[in-house]
Protein backbone atom coordinates (compact mmCIF):
# COMPACT_ATOMS: atom_id res chain seq x y z
CA UNK A 1 0.00 0.00 0.00
CA UNK A 2 2.87 2.34 0.79
CA UNK A 3 4.39 1.84 -2.66
CA UNK A 4 1.07 2.59 -4.35
CA UNK A 5 0.36 5.63 -2.19
CA UNK A 6 3.93 6.92 -2.38
CA UNK A 7 3.99 6.80 -6.15
CA UNK A 8 0.68 8.59 -6.30
CA UNK A 9 1.81 11.36 -3.95
CA UNK A 10 4.99 11.81 -5.99
CA UNK A 11 2.96 12.10 -9.19
CA UNK A 12 0.63 14.65 -7.58
CA UNK A 13 3.61 16.70 -6.39
CA UNK A 14 5.07 16.74 -9.89
CA UNK A 15 1.71 17.83 -11.29
CA UNK A 16 1.45 20.66 -8.76
CA UNK A 17 4.99 21.82 -9.55
CA UNK A 18 4.10 21.92 -13.21
CA UNK A 19 1.26 24.33 -12.60
CA UNK A 20 3.41 26.62 -10.40
CA UNK A 21 6.56 26.87 -12.54
CA UNK A 22 7.38 29.66 -15.01
CA UNK A 23 8.35 28.26 -18.36
CA UNK A 24 11.84 29.46 -19.38
CA UNK A 25 13.61 27.72 -22.21
CA UNK A 26 12.92 24.62 -24.23
CA UNK A 27 14.61 22.23 -21.76
CA UNK A 28 12.36 23.45 -18.93
CA UNK A 29 9.29 23.01 -21.11
CA UNK A 30 10.33 19.49 -22.03
CA UNK A 31 10.94 18.64 -18.38
CA UNK A 32 7.51 19.95 -17.43
CA UNK A 33 5.80 18.07 -20.25
CA UNK A 34 7.41 14.83 -19.02
CA UNK A 35 6.28 15.56 -15.46
CA UNK A 36 2.75 16.25 -16.60
CA UNK A 37 2.70 13.02 -18.64
CA UNK A 38 3.75 11.09 -15.53
CA UNK A 39 1.02 12.83 -13.54
CA UNK A 40 -1.68 11.96 -16.08
CA UNK A 41 -0.39 8.40 -16.61
CA UNK A 42 0.38 7.48 -13.01
CA UNK A 43 1.09 3.76 -12.83
CA UNK A 44 0.56 2.13 -9.44
CA UNK A 45 3.76 0.31 -8.54
CA UNK A 46 1.95 -2.48 -6.72
CA UNK A 47 -0.12 -3.30 -9.79
CA UNK A 48 2.91 -3.40 -12.09
CA UNK A 49 5.36 -5.27 -9.87
CA UNK A 50 2.91 -7.73 -8.34
CA UNK A 51 0.64 -8.72 -11.24
CA UNK A 52 0.84 -12.41 -10.45
CA UNK A 53 1.59 -12.26 -6.74
CA UNK A 54 -1.08 -13.85 -4.61
CA UNK A 55 -2.78 -11.14 -2.56
CA UNK A 56 -4.02 -12.00 0.90
CA UNK A 57 -7.65 -11.42 1.73
CA UNK A 58 -6.58 -8.54 3.94
CA UNK A 59 -4.77 -6.87 1.03
CA UNK A 60 -7.76 -7.38 -1.25
CA UNK A 61 -10.08 -5.97 1.39
CA UNK A 62 -7.86 -2.88 1.66
CA UNK A 63 -8.08 -2.34 -2.10
CA UNK A 64 -11.84 -3.00 -2.26
CA UNK A 65 -12.66 -0.68 0.65
CA UNK A 66 -10.73 2.33 -0.64
CA UNK A 67 -12.72 5.55 -1.02
CA UNK A 68 -14.76 5.08 -4.19
CA UNK A 69 -13.06 7.75 -6.31
CA UNK A 70 -9.59 6.63 -5.25
CA UNK A 71 -10.47 3.06 -6.23
CA UNK A 72 -11.78 4.11 -9.64
CA UNK A 73 -8.73 6.31 -10.26
CA UNK A 74 -6.33 3.47 -9.48
CA UNK A 75 -8.30 0.96 -11.56
CA UNK A 76 -8.35 3.28 -14.58
CA UNK A 77 -4.58 3.79 -14.39
CA UNK A 78 -3.99 0.03 -14.23
CA UNK A 79 -6.36 -0.41 -17.16
CA UNK A 80 -4.49 2.11 -19.29
CA UNK A 81 -1.18 0.44 -18.53
CA UNK A 82 -2.33 -2.90 -19.97
CA UNK A 83 -5.17 -2.19 -22.44
CA UNK A 84 -6.28 0.27 -25.09
CA UNK A 85 -8.69 2.45 -23.11
CA UNK A 86 -10.89 3.37 -26.07
CA UNK A 87 -11.73 -0.19 -27.10
CA UNK A 88 -14.35 -2.67 -25.92
CA UNK A 89 -14.59 -6.32 -26.92
CA UNK A 90 -18.04 -7.32 -28.19
CA UNK A 91 -19.04 -10.92 -27.44
CA UNK A 92 -22.14 -12.90 -28.34
CA UNK A 93 -23.66 -15.67 -26.20
CA UNK A 94 -26.01 -18.32 -27.59
CA UNK A 95 -27.85 -21.07 -25.73
CA UNK A 96 -27.34 -24.16 -27.89
CA UNK A 97 -29.14 -26.50 -25.46
CA UNK A 98 -31.65 -24.99 -23.06
CA UNK A 99 -33.34 -26.13 -19.83
CA UNK A 100 -33.54 -29.39 -17.93
CA UNK A 101 -30.23 -28.94 -16.11
CA UNK A 102 -29.87 -31.34 -13.13
CA UNK A 103 -27.94 -28.76 -11.09
CA UNK A 104 -29.82 -26.82 -8.40
CA UNK A 105 -28.13 -23.41 -8.80
CA UNK A 106 -30.43 -21.08 -6.89
CA UNK A 107 -30.14 -18.33 -9.52
CA UNK A 108 -30.72 -20.36 -12.67
CA UNK A 109 -34.03 -20.52 -14.59
CA UNK A 110 -32.71 -23.53 -16.54
CA UNK A 111 -32.54 -25.79 -13.49
CA UNK A 112 -34.89 -28.80 -13.59
CA UNK A 113 -35.41 -28.32 -9.85
CA UNK A 114 -37.58 -25.21 -10.32
CA UNK A 115 -40.71 -24.24 -12.19
CA UNK A 116 -39.55 -21.17 -14.08
CA UNK A 117 -41.36 -21.37 -17.38
CA UNK A 118 -38.16 -22.02 -19.33
CA UNK A 119 -38.86 -24.91 -21.65
CA UNK A 120 -36.41 -27.60 -22.66
CA UNK A 121 -34.74 -27.23 -26.02
CA UNK A 122 -32.61 -29.97 -27.52
CA UNK A 123 -29.18 -29.29 -28.94
CA UNK A 124 -29.42 -26.85 -31.85
CA UNK A 125 -28.55 -27.81 -35.40
CA UNK A 126 -25.05 -26.88 -36.47
CA UNK A 127 -26.29 -24.86 -39.44
CA UNK A 128 -28.43 -22.70 -37.13
CA UNK A 129 -25.48 -22.08 -34.82
CA UNK A 130 -23.29 -21.17 -37.78
CA UNK A 131 -25.91 -18.70 -39.00
CA UNK A 132 -26.06 -17.06 -35.55
CA UNK A 133 -22.26 -16.82 -35.44
CA UNK A 134 -22.14 -15.23 -38.88
CA UNK A 135 -24.69 -12.63 -37.80
CA UNK A 136 -22.72 -11.93 -34.61
CA UNK A 137 -19.58 -11.34 -36.64
CA UNK A 138 -21.41 -9.01 -39.00
CA UNK A 139 -22.58 -7.01 -35.96
CA UNK A 140 -19.04 -6.55 -34.66
CA UNK A 141 -18.55 -9.46 -32.25
CA UNK A 142 -15.07 -10.98 -32.06
CA UNK A 143 -15.99 -13.75 -29.60
CA UNK A 144 -18.85 -16.23 -29.93
CA UNK A 145 -19.80 -18.25 -26.86
CA UNK A 146 -22.04 -21.33 -26.90
CA UNK A 147 -23.78 -22.44 -23.71
CA UNK A 148 -25.47 -25.76 -22.95
CA UNK A 149 -27.46 -26.59 -19.82
CA UNK A 150 -25.49 -29.67 -18.81
CA UNK A 151 -23.91 -30.60 -15.50
CA UNK A 152 -21.21 -32.61 -17.24
CA UNK A 153 -20.28 -32.56 -20.91
CA UNK A 154 -21.79 -35.78 -22.34
CA UNK A 155 -19.85 -38.25 -24.43
CA UNK A 156 -21.12 -39.45 -27.79
CA UNK A 157 -23.13 -37.81 -30.54
CA UNK A 158 -23.98 -34.57 -28.71
CA UNK A 159 -20.36 -33.84 -27.88
CA UNK A 160 -19.32 -34.63 -31.45
CA UNK A 161 -21.92 -32.12 -32.63
CA UNK A 162 -20.48 -29.48 -30.30
CA UNK A 163 -17.01 -30.18 -31.70
CA UNK A 164 -18.40 -29.60 -35.20
CA UNK A 165 -19.91 -26.30 -34.04
CA UNK A 166 -16.56 -25.21 -32.63
CA UNK A 167 -14.83 -26.02 -35.92
CA UNK A 168 -17.38 -24.05 -37.93
CA UNK A 169 -17.25 -20.96 -35.71
CA UNK A 170 -13.46 -21.09 -35.61
CA UNK A 171 -13.53 -21.13 -39.40
CA UNK A 172 -15.21 -17.71 -39.34
CA UNK A 173 -12.18 -16.18 -37.66
CA UNK A 174 -13.99 -15.63 -34.35
CA UNK A 175 -12.74 -16.46 -30.89
CA UNK A 176 -14.74 -19.54 -29.86
CA UNK A 177 -15.91 -20.00 -26.28
CA UNK A 178 -18.07 -22.71 -24.70
CA UNK A 179 -19.77 -23.13 -21.34
CA UNK A 180 -20.99 -26.70 -21.08
CA UNK A 181 -20.51 -27.68 -17.44
CA UNK A 182 -17.77 -29.88 -16.07
CA UNK A 183 -15.51 -31.67 -18.49
CA UNK A 184 -12.70 -34.19 -18.42
CA UNK A 185 -9.11 -33.58 -19.48
CA UNK A 186 -9.72 -35.70 -22.60
CA UNK A 187 -12.74 -33.60 -23.58
CA UNK A 188 -10.77 -30.42 -23.01
CA UNK A 189 -8.06 -31.66 -25.39
CA UNK A 190 -10.67 -32.53 -28.01
CA UNK A 191 -12.19 -29.06 -27.77
CA UNK A 192 -8.76 -27.48 -28.10
CA UNK A 193 -8.02 -29.57 -31.20
CA UNK A 194 -11.35 -28.49 -32.70
CA UNK A 195 -10.33 -24.82 -32.36
CA UNK A 196 -11.80 -23.74 -29.02
CA UNK A 197 -10.29 -20.48 -27.76
CA UNK A 198 -11.80 -20.22 -24.29
CA UNK A 199 -14.05 -22.03 -21.84
CA UNK A 200 -16.32 -20.35 -19.32
CA UNK A 201 -16.58 -21.93 -15.89
CA UNK A 202 -17.56 -19.44 -13.19
CA UNK A 203 -16.83 -19.81 -9.49
CA UNK A 204 -20.09 -17.88 -8.86
CA UNK A 205 -19.33 -16.68 -5.32
CA UNK A 206 -17.04 -17.12 -2.31
CA UNK A 207 -16.27 -20.61 -1.01
CA UNK A 208 -18.09 -19.71 2.21
CA UNK A 209 -21.40 -18.84 0.51
CA UNK A 210 -21.17 -21.40 -2.28
CA UNK A 211 -22.98 -24.19 -0.42
CA UNK A 212 -26.00 -21.94 0.09
CA UNK A 213 -26.30 -21.33 -3.65
CA UNK A 214 -25.48 -24.77 -5.11
CA UNK A 215 -25.57 -28.20 -3.49
CA UNK A 216 -25.19 -30.47 -6.53
CA UNK A 217 -21.57 -29.52 -7.21
CA UNK A 218 -18.73 -28.63 -4.87
CA UNK A 219 -16.22 -25.80 -5.30
CA UNK A 220 -13.33 -28.20 -5.86
CA UNK A 221 -15.08 -29.67 -8.92
CA UNK A 222 -15.12 -26.25 -10.53
CA UNK A 223 -11.42 -25.81 -9.82
CA UNK A 224 -10.72 -29.27 -11.27
CA UNK A 225 -12.43 -28.33 -14.53
CA UNK A 226 -10.34 -25.15 -14.71
CA UNK A 227 -7.19 -27.25 -14.21
CA UNK A 228 -8.26 -29.53 -17.09
CA UNK A 229 -8.66 -26.48 -19.33
CA UNK A 230 -5.21 -25.18 -18.45
CA UNK A 231 -3.67 -28.58 -19.14
CA UNK A 232 -5.25 -28.55 -22.62
CA UNK A 233 -4.03 -25.03 -23.40
CA UNK A 234 -7.50 -23.46 -23.44
CA UNK A 235 -7.84 -19.96 -22.02
CA UNK A 236 -10.10 -19.55 -19.01
CA UNK A 237 -13.17 -17.35 -18.64
CA UNK A 238 -14.06 -17.32 -14.95
CA UNK A 239 -15.98 -14.85 -12.82
CA UNK A 240 -18.96 -14.62 -10.52
CA UNK A 241 -22.44 -13.30 -9.78
CA UNK A 242 -23.33 -10.38 -7.52
CA UNK A 243 -26.69 -9.79 -5.85
CA UNK A 244 -27.32 -13.28 -4.48
CA UNK A 245 -27.54 -12.07 -0.90
CA UNK A 246 -23.79 -12.17 -0.40
CA UNK A 247 -21.94 -9.97 2.06
CA UNK A 248 -19.10 -7.63 1.24
CA UNK A 249 -16.77 -10.26 2.67
CA UNK A 250 -18.17 -12.81 0.20
CA UNK A 251 -17.40 -10.48 -2.70
CA UNK A 252 -13.88 -10.02 -1.39
CA UNK A 253 -13.62 -13.81 -1.01
CA UNK A 254 -14.69 -14.34 -4.63
CA UNK A 255 -12.08 -11.83 -5.82
CA UNK A 256 -9.46 -13.60 -3.72
CA UNK A 257 -10.28 -16.94 -5.36
CA UNK A 258 -10.24 -15.50 -8.88
CA UNK A 259 -6.99 -13.60 -8.43
CA UNK A 260 -5.27 -16.59 -6.81
CA UNK A 261 -5.73 -18.67 -9.98
CA UNK A 262 -2.34 -18.98 -11.66
CA UNK A 263 -2.31 -17.75 -14.32
CA UNK A 264 -5.17 -15.31 -13.90
CA UNK A 265 -8.30 -16.01 -15.97
CA UNK A 266 -7.91 -14.38 -19.37
CA UNK A 267 -11.54 -13.24 -19.08
CA UNK A 268 -13.36 -12.27 -15.88
CA UNK A 269 -17.13 -11.87 -16.33
CA UNK A 270 -18.86 -9.98 -13.52
CA UNK A 271 -22.60 -10.69 -13.51
CA UNK A 272 -25.46 -8.96 -11.73
CA UNK A 273 -28.15 -11.44 -10.70
CA UNK A 274 -31.03 -11.58 -13.17
CA UNK A 275 -33.85 -12.63 -10.89
CA UNK A 276 -36.02 -15.36 -12.39
CA UNK A 277 -39.48 -16.29 -11.19
CA UNK A 278 -39.60 -19.75 -9.66
CA UNK A 279 -35.98 -19.79 -8.50
CA UNK A 280 -35.01 -19.49 -4.80
CA UNK A 281 -33.46 -16.08 -5.53
CA UNK A 282 -36.49 -14.66 -7.33
CA UNK A 283 -37.08 -12.17 -4.51
CA UNK A 284 -33.47 -11.24 -3.82
CA UNK A 285 -32.91 -7.58 -2.93
CA UNK A 286 -31.80 -5.15 -5.62
CA UNK A 287 -28.04 -4.78 -5.95
CA UNK A 288 -26.61 -1.28 -5.63
CA UNK A 289 -24.92 -0.67 -9.02
CA UNK A 290 -21.98 0.95 -7.23
CA UNK A 291 -21.21 -2.48 -5.75
CA UNK A 292 -20.92 -3.77 -9.32
CA UNK A 293 -18.57 -0.89 -10.16
CA UNK A 294 -16.49 -1.40 -7.02
CA UNK A 295 -16.12 -5.12 -7.73
CA UNK A 296 -15.09 -4.50 -11.34
CA UNK A 297 -12.52 -1.90 -10.25
CA UNK A 298 -11.00 -4.28 -7.72
CA UNK A 299 -10.93 -7.09 -10.29
CA UNK A 300 -9.10 -4.79 -12.71
CA UNK A 301 -6.43 -3.94 -10.11
CA UNK A 302 -5.98 -7.57 -9.04
CA UNK A 303 -5.95 -9.00 -12.57
CA UNK A 304 -4.47 -6.22 -14.72
CA UNK A 305 -4.08 -8.12 -17.99
CA UNK A 306 -7.45 -9.92 -17.94
CA UNK A 307 -10.45 -8.88 -19.99
CA UNK A 308 -13.05 -7.77 -17.43
CA UNK A 309 -16.52 -8.30 -18.84
CA UNK A 310 -19.79 -6.64 -17.82
CA UNK A 311 -21.89 -9.75 -18.25
CA UNK A 312 -25.51 -10.33 -17.16
CA UNK A 313 -27.43 -7.45 -15.63
CA UNK A 314 -26.74 -4.55 -18.00
CA UNK A 315 -30.42 -4.55 -18.97
CA UNK A 316 -31.24 -3.29 -15.47
CA UNK A 317 -28.37 -0.81 -15.18
CA UNK A 318 -28.54 2.84 -16.16
CA UNK A 319 -26.26 4.27 -18.84
CA UNK A 320 -24.45 6.11 -16.07
CA UNK A 321 -23.82 2.91 -14.10
CA UNK A 322 -22.49 1.11 -17.18
CA UNK A 323 -20.27 4.11 -17.91
CA UNK A 324 -18.79 3.86 -14.42
CA UNK A 325 -18.10 0.17 -15.05
CA UNK A 326 -16.08 1.11 -18.14
CA UNK A 327 -14.27 3.78 -16.13
CA UNK A 328 -13.50 1.12 -13.50
CA UNK A 329 -11.70 -0.98 -16.09
CA UNK A 330 -14.33 -3.14 -17.79
CA UNK A 331 -13.46 -3.64 -21.44
CA UNK A 332 -15.84 -6.32 -22.70
CA UNK A 333 -19.60 -6.78 -22.97
CA UNK A 334 -22.09 -9.29 -24.30
CA UNK A 335 -24.13 -7.95 -27.19
CA UNK A 336 -27.42 -9.15 -28.63
CA UNK A 337 -30.86 -8.88 -27.05
CA UNK A 338 -30.59 -12.20 -25.18
CA UNK A 339 -28.12 -13.94 -22.86
CA UNK A 340 -29.03 -17.63 -22.78
CA UNK A 341 -32.57 -17.10 -21.40
CA UNK A 342 -32.46 -13.56 -19.99
CA UNK A 343 -32.81 -10.17 -21.75
CA UNK A 344 -29.88 -7.95 -22.71
CA UNK A 345 -29.71 -4.43 -24.22
CA UNK A 346 -30.30 -4.36 -27.96
CA UNK A 347 -27.67 -3.63 -30.58
CA UNK A 348 -28.93 -0.07 -31.16
CA UNK A 349 -28.69 0.77 -27.44
CA UNK A 350 -25.14 -0.53 -27.26
CA UNK A 351 -24.11 1.30 -30.42
CA UNK A 352 -25.54 4.56 -29.07
CA UNK A 353 -23.79 4.19 -25.72
CA UNK A 354 -20.41 3.33 -27.21
CA UNK A 355 -20.70 6.23 -29.63
CA UNK A 356 -21.62 8.67 -26.88
CA UNK A 357 -18.66 7.50 -24.77
CA UNK A 358 -16.22 7.64 -27.67
CA UNK A 359 -15.56 3.91 -27.44
CA UNK A 360 -15.14 1.58 -30.39
CA UNK A 361 -15.48 -2.15 -30.88
CA UNK A 362 -12.25 -4.08 -30.56
CA UNK A 363 -11.05 -5.97 -33.62
CA UNK A 364 -9.58 -9.44 -33.27
CA UNK A 365 -5.79 -9.40 -33.04
Per-residue pLDDT of the chain (365 residues; tens, 9 = 90+): 444 555 444 444 444 443 344 334 444 444 443 343 343 444 444 444 556 678 999 999 999 999 999 999 999 999 999 999 999 999 999 999 999 999 999 999 999 999 998 989 999 999 999 999 999 999 999 999 999 999 999 999 999 999 999 999 999 999 999 999 999 999 999 999 999 999 999 999 999 999 999 999 999 999 999 999 999 999 999 999 999 999 999 999 999 999 999 999 999 999 999 999 999 999 999 999 999 999 999 999 999 999 999 999 899 999 999 999 999 999 999 998 878 888 888 888 999 999 999 999 998 76
Cα 123–135–128 angle (5° rounding)? 25
DSSP structure string for 168-187: HHHTTT-EEEEE-SB--HHH
Dmax of the chain from CA atoms? 77
Burial class, 74, CB count within 10 angstroms (exposed 0-12 / middle 13-18 / buried 19+) = buried
What's the Rg (C-alpha) of the chain?
22
Residues noted as catalytic = 101, 105, 108, 145, 177, 237, 309
Would you call 111 helix, strand, or coil by DSSP? Answer: strand
Contacts of 213 (CB under 8 A, 6+ apart): 105, 106, 107, 204, 205, 244
Amino acid sequence: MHGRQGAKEQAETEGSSLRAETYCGSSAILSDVVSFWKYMHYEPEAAILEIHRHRTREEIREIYQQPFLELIFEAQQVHRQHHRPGEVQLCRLLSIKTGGCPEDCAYCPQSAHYQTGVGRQDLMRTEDVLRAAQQAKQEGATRFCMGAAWRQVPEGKEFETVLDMVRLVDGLGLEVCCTLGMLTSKQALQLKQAGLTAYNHNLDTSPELYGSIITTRVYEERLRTIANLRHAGITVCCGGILGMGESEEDRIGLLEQLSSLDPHPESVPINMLMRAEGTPLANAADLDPLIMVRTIATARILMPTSMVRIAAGRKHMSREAVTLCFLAGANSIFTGDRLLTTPNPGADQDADLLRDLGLKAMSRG
